[in-house]
Chains A and B, each alone.
Chain A
Amino acid sequence: KAGVTQTPRYLIKTRGQQVTLSCSPISGHRSVSWYQQTPGQGLQFLFEYFSETQRNKGNFPGRFSGRQFSNSRSEMNVSTLELGDSALYLCASSLDGIIDSPLHFGNGTRLTVT
Chain B
Amino acid sequence: AQSVTQLDSQVPVFEEAPVELRCNYSSSVSVYLFWYVQYPNQGLQLLLKYLSGSTLVKGINGFEAEFNKSQTSFHLRKPSVHISDTAEYFCAVLKQGRRALTFGSGTRLQVQP
Contact = CB atoms under 8 A, between A and B. Distances in A.
B14 interface: no
Contacts of A72: none
Given A42-B106, A90-B44, A107-B42, A102 B99 contact: no
Interface size of A as a range? 20 to 34
A41 to B, nearest CB: 9
Contacts of B7: none
A33 interface: yes
Given A43-B90, A99-B51, A102-B49, A108 B43 contact: yes
B57 interface: no
B106 A102 contact: no
Interface of B: 32, 36, 41-46, 49, 51, 90, 92, 94, 98-106
Given A55-B99, A105-B45, 5 more contacts: A45-B100, A48-B99, A98-B101, A105-B36, A105-B44
- Those 8 A-B pairs whose CB atoms lie nearest each other, nearest first: A105-B43, A43-B103, A45-B100, A105-B44, A56-B99, A102-B46, A42-B105, A107-B43
